[in-house]
Chain A
């Protein structure tokens, strides 16, 4: 069934098709539509989940932890300040190996109260032990939401689906919505190996001494190591059933490119448009979209970018005192390449707090990098369009 829906409702549809069983949430713009739609679905019986209207995001994640530990499918959604407030619980869900799925709408953080998009809220959670998947359009949002449950439960890892504020959350697009029967065949009920089971009582969360703590951390790392292959298989299965796949990293018109843009989120769509225009003029430019940020797709990115002379990373985020976060992580991923095949990586910080990233802005970044010499030792980090 095709429907024209906003990105927020694409999440709601995905969650209902995945038959989430406990949903706990607190409202925050621009996320609220996700959980309002889900609350309605629970109310009118379209979704047989229990909805808890909690008193804060801290409580929302805590409720998801409690629910998920009993073996049910738990979901929440949040944004910006709400995600920051969850931080302590995010670690808990991560190391507790609870396959909770959460949608976060990327919104700038305060002070300077701002409801528009940037990625600092989610990127600040990169070390909490959550898989992070950034989406570009509403179809991808719906598909990723359902895939996220499959991935989370396969590896006992929580998964965060990430959408840009307004550009996705509140923008309507046609979305192909699979039937419940088709999704049931793809995603059976959760079968938790470890759960609170009254017939086999265990205590979770006890004091973990130096003698065992590191092993627990290592297992978490090993589970993350399995994410790329597991996601690839899930995505391939999805493709067989529904004729769509998204990949952790996507290369677009890069085969003979001398300069490649690296993007994430909705900037990618604008960048595709710029690449198409430039290709028509005969410029050898391409695009690499990073969908999966945690685990960082080191191998796919090396394959996608080795031998390309110049790369321009567009970062709608900033790590103060370091730089654009995608650019920095990409540089370290490419460091091991032989220097002749290692691209020069320029970083551009732009679009913070929802400032528009237009084709002209992207074109400027592309031109700046194309004009630079390709020595891999050189690099440029620029803030784009900032008033003096």
Chain B
């Protein structure tokens, strides 16, 4: 299937220039590369501009409750482990109201791919500071929370023990396609941090600012070294690429029963909504 065949007929309601368009494109490209058919795919989100993405992908998709995409997806994946399950959402959804679920999803290591479109703002509710809004920007724009330090989400997932952690920029299509592909292929919980622009509630050149602070991890970078990963995400710049990937032999040893792909659901469940042709 071509990437465009993985799109529904719904037209995105995002603003022209929104980083979320790139993510939609990158995700459908990665799914197409991996030959994942719509009937083998579930895309789950919470609430936010970014969380509208499932409606635009041809899949079993579910726009759920603000902050609750991870536990809902965990239940779905447990019942239907044969479905590739991608969870998408924003920085507010994932790092504010829903943050409590993140370390637990990581600990459980259910085979989900969690893509966060981090635009550093609550977009849908019209531009309040999010946990990743920079201090400086809150102060100059007079947003509430000007004295609150921003969160480093990548450091957080690394310290919670996430087995696959990558970062990409919504304007870099080939890179994003590759990161998403690798994340989906990884056989445990994987996390992709997408630096996404918001043209309406961030400065016009915000996406470029993010890019200027970014650099691609060099070829010699050892992504199996957790210590190196933690160092790489603490220097105030945005390291792009696979930041950490737990070696697969370790994954097999630690993966819990819930990640068991061989478990088969009862017949009645399997038959219910599979395509008939």
Asked if B188 is at the interface (CB within 8 A of a chain A CB), the reply is no
**Looking at the complex, which of A50-58, A154-162, A202-210 is the stretch in contact with chain B?**
A50-58
Output the least CB separation between B145 and chain A (Å): 4
Q: Which residues of chain A (46-104) have a CB below 8 Å from chain B?
A: 51, 53, 55-56, 81
- Closest partner residue, chain B, to A54 (CB atom): B96
Q: Are B47's CB and A113's CB within 8 A?
A: yes
Alpha-carbon separation in the docked complex, A81 to B97 (Å): 12
Q: Are A113's CB and B145's CB within 8 A?
A: no
Alpha-carbon separation in the docked complex, A36 to B143 (Å): 9
> Could you say which residues of chain B place their CB within 8 Å of the CB of A55?
96-97, 99, 131
Asked if A26 is at the interface (CB within 8 A of a chain B CB), the reply is yes
Asked if B15 is at the interface (CB within 8 A of a chain A CB), the reply is no
Given A26-B97, A29-B125, A81 contacting B142 (CB threshold 8 A): no
> Could you say which residues of chain A place their CB within 8 Å of the CB of B142?
40, 43
Interface size class of B (residues with CB under 8 A): 10 to 19
Contact with B along A7-43 (1 / 0, CB 8 A): 0000000000000000000111100100010011001
Alpha-carbon separation in the docked complex, A113 to B45 (Å): 13
Q: Are A56's CB and B122's CB within 8 A?
A: no
Given A43-B142, A43-B144, A113-B47, A56 contacting B67 (CB threshold 8 A): yes
Output the least CB separation between A105 and chain B (Å): 13
Alpha-carbon separation in the docked complex, A39 to B147 (Å): 13
Asked if B271 is at the interface (CB within 8 A of a chain A CB), the reply is no
Alpha-carbon separation in the docked complex, A55 to B124 (Å): 15
Q: Are A81's CB and B66's CB within 8 A?
A: yes
24 sample A-B contacts, Cβ–Cβ < 8 Å, listed by A number: A26-B96, A26-B97, A27-B122, A27-B125, A27-B128, A28-B125, A29-B124, A29-B125, A32-B126, A32-B128, A36-B128, A36-B144, A40-B142, A43-B144, A51-B144, A53-B128, A53-B129, A53-B144, A55-B96, A55-B99, A55-B131, A110-B65, A113-B47, A113-B63
- Residues of A participating in the B interface, judged by any CB pair closer than 8 Å: 26-29, 32, 36, 39-40, 43, 51, 53, 55-56, 81, 110, 113
- Residues of B participating in the A interface, judged by any CB pair closer than 8 Å: 47, 63, 65-67, 96-97, 99, 122, 124-126, 128-129, 131, 142, 144-145, 148
